[in-house]
Amino acid sequence: MNQTSTIIELKNVCKSFDDTVAVENFNLTVQKGEFVTFLGPSGCGKTTTLRMIAGFDLPTSGQILLNGEDISNLPPNKRPVNTVFQRYALFPHLNVYENIAFGLKLKKIETEVTNRKGEKVKKLTHLSRREIDEKVKRVLDIVDLEGFEKRSVATLSGGQQQRVAIARAIVNEPEILLLDEPLGALDLKMRKEMQIELKEMHRRLGITFIYVTHDQEEALTMSDKIVVINDGEIQQIGTPTDIYNEPVNTFVADFIGESNIFNGMMTGKLKVKFCGAEFDCLDDYEINQYVDVVVRPEDIIICKPGEGQLKGKVLSTVFKGVHYEITVEVGRFEIVIQSTAYAAPDSVIGMRIEPDGIHIMEKVYTENKYDGVITKKNTVEFGDGEFECDVTQLYPGSHLDEEGYLITAAGEKLDLTGTEVTVEVGFRDITMSDEKDAGGAEGSIISMIYKGDHYRYIVRTEENEEDYVLACPDLWNTGDKVSLIIPADKIKLTLKPAAGEKK
Amino acid sequence: MTKTLKLRFNRKQLCIPYAAFLILFVICPLLVIIYYAFTNGTGQFTFDNLVNFFSNTNTLGTLLNSIAIACVTTIVCLVIAYPVAYILARSKFRRKYVLLMLFVLPMWINFTLRITALKEILSFIEGNLAMYPFLNTVIGMTYDFLPFMILPLYTALSKLDKSLFEAAEDLGASSFTVFMRVVLPLSVPGIISGVTMVLLPSMTNYVVLDMLYNSTYIMGSLIGSYFAAYDWNNGSMISLILLIIIFIITLATNKFNDDQSSGRTVL
C-alpha cells in the first residue's frame, strides 16, 4: 500500500464502556477518496468506531492516525472530519441556510492583510459573508435544494432534512465524511434514490466517505471497501465482490446475502463431503478436517433427478420476480435454491454444484471449553453457571463414598472442593429451556445460523459474557433468554496440570 | 319516588364546582374592584382615582421601585439558576435527582418560617436590616423564588438532544460556542417560563418586605396600605392597573413562547 495515499489508519483501537468491550483490536487503513462501509448487526461496535474517528468517543487504547498524525485524543472541533448523524441532528432554531453556514461561520482561514504600516501580515480571519453565501449556494445545488435557504428545518420532509444534513457536513470540505446510518429513517424508495445520489456525490466531491450501515444491500451497492464487523471485531475487509463471493467465515456468509451453510468434512484432496454427498472443491484443507461449507442459493443448478450430486423433493416454490426461490428437502437437510427455472412443489429434482460455487471455511467454533472450579460435592462452576458433574472421571477407577468424598483407586480420600479443571462440552450436549433455573446457567441468544438440518446458536451469559455454542433443531429467536441444561455425564472434565500436581 | 330522585349525571356537571368557585372568588371580586376603582367614597362614578395614580409621585415611584426589584430579582435568579440547571441536566451523575431535590426542598418548608430564618441570618450579618432595604428585598425574593427558575430551566435543558451538541462540535464549535449558539437559543422557552414565574410574583409579593422590616414599598404593600386605611377606591384602582400590567406581560411572553415552540413541535 502506498503510504502517501493513506488518509486514515486505525491501529489496535480498543474501546470499552465500563465493563463491556465495544470495539476490540480494530486495525484498518483507508485510502484517500475511498468509499468504506462498516457493516454489521446493531450493537456490533460500528457506530462506536465511527464516533472514535469523529472524536466523540476516545479510544481506550490504540491509535488513530490521520495523514500520519496521531489524532486519537483531539476534540471533534479540531478534526478535519464531518459527520452526518443518524437522526440528522439539525439545529431546530436555525433555518436551512443558517444550519449549513454553521460550520463556515466558525471557520478561520489564513489570509494576507496589509496593516497600517503597509506591511503584509498573515492573519486568521473569518470567511466573508459573500464567500459563505457562495459556498452555501453551491452545496444546496449539489444536494438539490436550491431555493430552500429560508425554510425552517422543521417544515422539511425526512429526505430533505437528510440532504440538509449532508450539505451541512460537506460544505466544510472535510477530508473525511462520516455517515452514521444516514438513510435509516427513510422509506425504501427514498433510500434507493439517496444511495445512488450519495454514490454520485462521492464521485464528484472526491472526499473519503466512511459509511456505517446494517443493511448489507446498501453496503454492497455503494462501497469500494466493506468492513464486516461483529461483536466489536473485524470479521472481513474486502471489496463487495470479495465479501460476497469469498466470505471468510459463516458469520459473513450468513450476514451478506442468502446462503446455505452446512457442516462438512474434507474427504480427500480438494474433496468435501456434506449433505450426504461428496463434492469437488477449490479450497485445500487437511483431510478429515471438519469445516463449514457455504453455498449461495444461486450457485445450485437444478437438473434431472439422478444427474448432479444431490437429489431431493421440492418443498415449496416462491416466485420472486427475477427468480424462483425453491426449498428442497435432501434427506434431513433443507436447501434453498434461487433459480430462473421452475420446479413444481412435491416433484423430485437433482441438484448440481460446481466447484467454484462451494466455499469452504475453517470452523470458528469447534468446541465449548471453559476454565472451571469444582465446588462442593459433584458440582462444577464454569461459564457463569454451576452444573452437576461426574468427578470420578478425573481419577480412573475412583468412586464416591456415601458422604460424597472421592475415593481414588488406591483408596485415598480426596476433597476436591476448589480444584481447577478444564471443562469441555459438545455442541449437541447442551439443550435450551425457556424455564428459568431449569439449567445451570442462563443467557440470551446472540447469534443463530441455519445449517441445513439444525441451527447453530451462541448463547451469551450476562455476568461475564461467557459464550455457549450449541446445535439445536428447534427454532428460537435471537435475544431470547434461555436456561442451559447440560446432563452431568456430558460434561467432560480434565485436571489442570498445576492442580493435578498439587493433589 | 325513586325514579325522580335518580340523578342524571353527565360529565359537564363535573365543572359546576369549579364554575361556582370561579364566579364567587374571581369574577365577583374583580367586578367589585372595578366598581370601587371607578367610584369615589360616596359611590359616584369618577376617574379621579386613575388621575390620582398617575399624578401622585408616591404611587408612580412605588411602581418603578416594584419593577426595579422584580427585574433585579429575576436577573439574579436567572444568573444563579442557569448554571445549576445546566450542570444538573448535563451531568451523568446518577443521583442528580437528589441534587435537584436539594434545590427544590426549601419550597416544602413554610414560607414565613423560611423568611424568619433568613431575617435572623441577615440581621446577624448586617446588624441593622433597615440599612440595606433594596438588597435585603432582593435577597429575600431570590431565596424564595429560585426553585421556580431552576425547575423550568432544568426541564428545558434536559430535553435537548445531545446529538445537537455533538453536531455543533463536529462542525468546529468549541464548548463555549456550542453553548452560545446551540444550548442558549434552544433553552429560551425554559428561560421565558422561568422569568414569568419569578418576575410576576416578585412585583407584588410584599410579605417578604414586611417580614424583613422593610421601608421599601412595592405595589403589593402600597395596595395593602390603602386598604388598611379603608381607602377602597384608590386601592382598587392600583390593583386594577397592576392587573393590567401583569396581563400585558403574560400576553407578550406567551406570544413569544408560541413563536418559539410552534417551530419545535413540528419536529
Domains located in chain B, CATH noted: 71-261 (1.10.3720.10)
- Confidence category of residue B1, pLDDT binned at 50, 70, 90: very low
Residues 142-161 of B with CB under 8 A from A: 161
Q: Residue B176: which H helix or E strand, with range?
A: helix B175-178
| Residue from A17, A102, A124 to probe the interface with B (highest B Cβ count within 10 Å) | A102
In chain A the first and final C-alpha atoms are separated, in Å, by 56
Q: What is the pLDDT of residues B85-144, one digit of tens each?
A: 998 888 777 777 788 888 878 778 888 888 888 888 888 888 777 778 888 888 888 988
Amino acid at B54: F
C-alpha cell at B241: 392597573
Whether residue A154 and residue B266 make contact (CB cut-off 8 A), yes or no, is yes
pLDDT for A499 equals 44
Distance CA B39, CA B59 (A): 19
Whether residue A172 and residue B171 make contact (CB cut-off 8 A), yes or no, is yes
Backbone angles phi, psi at B92, to 5 degrees: -95, 5
The three-state DSSP-derived secondary structure of A133-185 is HHHHHHHHHHCCCCCCCCCEHHHCCHHHHHHHHHHHHHCCCCCEEEEECCCCC
Q: Are A154 and A94 in contact (CB under 8 A)?
A: no
Number of residues that make up chain A: 503
Chain A within 8 Å of B167 (Cβ-Cβ)? yes
Whether residue A87 and residue B170 make contact (CB cut-off 8 A), yes or no, is no
Q: Are A430 and A368 in contact (CB under 8 A)?
A: yes
C-alpha cell at B188: 429560551
Whether residue A93 and residue B171 make contact (CB cut-off 8 A), yes or no, is no
Three-state DSSP class for residue B34: helix
Q: What is the pLDDT of residues A71-94, one digit of tens each?
A: 988 999 999 999 999 888 999 999
Q: What is the pLDDT of residues B202-220, one digit of tens each?
A: 887 777 777 776 666 777 7
Distance CA A167, CA A139 (A): 6
Residue A101 to chain B, least CA–CA distance (Å): 10
Beta bridge partners of B39: B45
Mean pLDDT of chain B: 83
Whether residue B169 and residue A154 make contact (CB cut-off 8 A), yes or no, is no
Q: What is the pLDDT of residues B131-165, one digit of tens each?
A: 788 888 888 889 888 989 999 999 999 988 889 99
C-alpha cell at A274: 456434506
| CB < 8 Å to A160, chain B | none
pLDDT for A396 equals 77
The three-state DSSP-derived secondary structure of A54-95 is HCCCCCCEEEEEECCEECCCCCHHHCCEEEEECCECCCCCCE
Number of residues that make up chain B: 267
Confidence check: pLDDT of A501 > 60: no
- Confidence category of residue A3, pLDDT binned at 50, 70, 90: very low
Name the nearest CA neighbour of A44 among A71, A26, A19. A26
Rounded mean pLDDT, B17-39? 91
| Residue from B94, B164, B170 to probe the interface with A (highest A Cβ count within 10 Å) | B170
| CB < 8 Å to A170, chain B | none
Residue A102 to chain B, least CA–CA distance (Å): 7
DSSP string, A329-391: EETTEEEEEEESS---TT-EEEEEE-GGGEEEEE-S---EEEEEEEETTTEEEETTEEEE--G
Backbone angles phi, psi at A472, to 5 degrees: -155, 135
Residue B78 to chain A, least CA–CA distance (Å): 21
pTM over 0.90: no
Whether residue B166 and residue A87 make contact (CB cut-off 8 A), yes or no, is no
C-alpha cell at A161: 432534512
**A418 vs A313, residue with greater confidence:** A313
What burial class does residue A390 get, using C-beta atoms within 10 Å of its C-beta: 0-12 exposed, 13-18 middle, 19+ buried? middle
Three-state DSSP class for residue A427: helix
Q: What is the ipTM of this complex?
A: 0.73
Confidence check: pLDDT of B265 > 60: no
Amino acid at B157: L
Whether residue A92 and residue B267 make contact (CB cut-off 8 A), yes or no, is yes
Q: What is the pLDDT of residues A376-388, one digit of tens each?
A: 767 888 888 888 8
Amino acid at B3: K
Q: What is the pLDDT of residues A456-473, one digit of tens each?
A: 888 888 877 788 888 888
A405 Cβ contact list (under 8 Å, min separation 6) = A413, A414, A415
**In this complex, which of A77, A82, A89 lies closest to B174 when CB atoms are compared?**
A77
